[in-house]
Amino acid sequence: MMPATPTIVARMASASAIVSGAVPSASTGLSGFKVYDETFHNILGSVPKLEMILEDNSYPFAHEASVYIPSSESLFMSSNIFTDPATGEKTIKITKASVSEHPVTAEIINSTIPLPNGGVNNGDGILWIGQGTMNEAGGLFQMSVHPPYKTKFVVRGFYGRQFNSLNDVVVHSNGSYWFTDPVYGWRQGVRPKPKLPNQVYRFDPNTSDLRVIADGFGRPNGITFSPDEKTLYITDTAETNGDGSEDKLLPATIYAFDVIKTGDQPFLTNRRVFSMPAEGIPDGVKVDMDGNVYAGCKDGVNVWSAGGVLLGKILVKDGTSNFSFGKNGTMFILNENKLWRAQLNQKVEGNLLEK
């Protein structure tokens, strides 16, 4: 159980840095939009805007998950690993930001999830990934989005073997959970030596069937379906080892798979390279209702067509690990100590909010 430290977010500051339209000069240090294909204008709309709406330099609150709750206009995020000043231990905290308020306010959620990372909308709550710690196994956890944020674990290991350090998860329309499990926690010194390969899993909560759905990855990371759920996208971020080192000869790639059925059971086939960003690794990955694929990269959010054509970028200094779509063409971009909001074409919709 991780102790809560609510005072850490006592002074979340709002910000008014805004950039609209074309890319500003590099000397401004601000972010903008870069067009590689004219169809990207259909995503940007006539007056795209990017603004920093929250900043807190006391800890990296805006790292992963980025789960938007439309009913309350709130955003749930997991921090990067940091040392809690109250305990002196490495920890990860979940932050809830009220993004409709002016200025935006935020609070730390008192969570028992061991080192939470990825998360996704699931019913009236959030399905969280818990990486686990040296003393506690990780797994999938369902959390309420209302105080006191009750949490229950869903699955906690592969038939007696602990997961390595689960990373990201997506929910299929049939209710099954698909999730990635790289060895990053071990490399970062917060998890024991791995007992499983770097793999991707599927869990059916209705039947409790748990199985490996894909392997052969260096570091499986982000995961999402196309709107029709006929294609599954998985990022491999093996270029970043997890201990601070990099190997440019290892994958920094988004792979696409066809989702087929044998009998009434799904399988993945036709693995292929979908794309590779020019800068860094593709971490979190999401899709809009038109099938365009978005990934958090070293230079911001990169956007490709369903055919793998680079359409454009939402440029954010120092990049992003994850992001999420909001209402009416908004996007929330996590930037460690900063949270950004992009206003795109109001017709842009993220497919996760359609579930």
Domains of the chain: 6-354 (2.120.10.30)
**Residues 140 and 177 sit within 8 Å (Cβ to Cβ):** yes
| pLDDT, position 353 | 77
| pLDDT, position 29 | 34
Q: What gap in Å lies between CA 275 and CA 273, rounded to an integer?
A: 6
What tokens were used for 228?
């029709």
**pTM, entire model:** 0.92
**Residues 163 and 139 sit within 8 Å (Cβ to Cβ):** yes
What tokens were used for 149?
């944020």
- Residue ranges of alpha helices (H) inside 264-324 are none
**pLDDT < 50 positions in the chain:** 1-30
Cα angle 336-149-134, degrees, rounded to a multiple of 5: 60
Q: What gap in Å lies between CA 301 and CA 285, rounded to an integer?
A: 9
Which residue in this structure is represented by tokens 């903008």? 32
Q: What gap in Å lies between CA 76 and CA 96, rounded to an integer?
A: 5
| pLDDT, position 352 | 87
Most distant CA pair in the chain, distance = 58
Which residue in this structure is represented by tokens 């204008």? 41
What tokens were used for 32?
């903008």
Closest CA to 6 of 75, 94, 89: 94
Q: What gap in Å lies between CA 117 and CA 256, rounded to an integer?
A: 23
Closest CA to 106 of 14, 17, 8, 9: 9
**Residues 70 and 76 sit within 8 Å (Cβ to Cβ):** no
- Residue ranges of alpha helices (H) inside the chain are 40-44, 184-187
Backbone phi, then psi, for 354, in 5-degree steps?
A: -90, -10
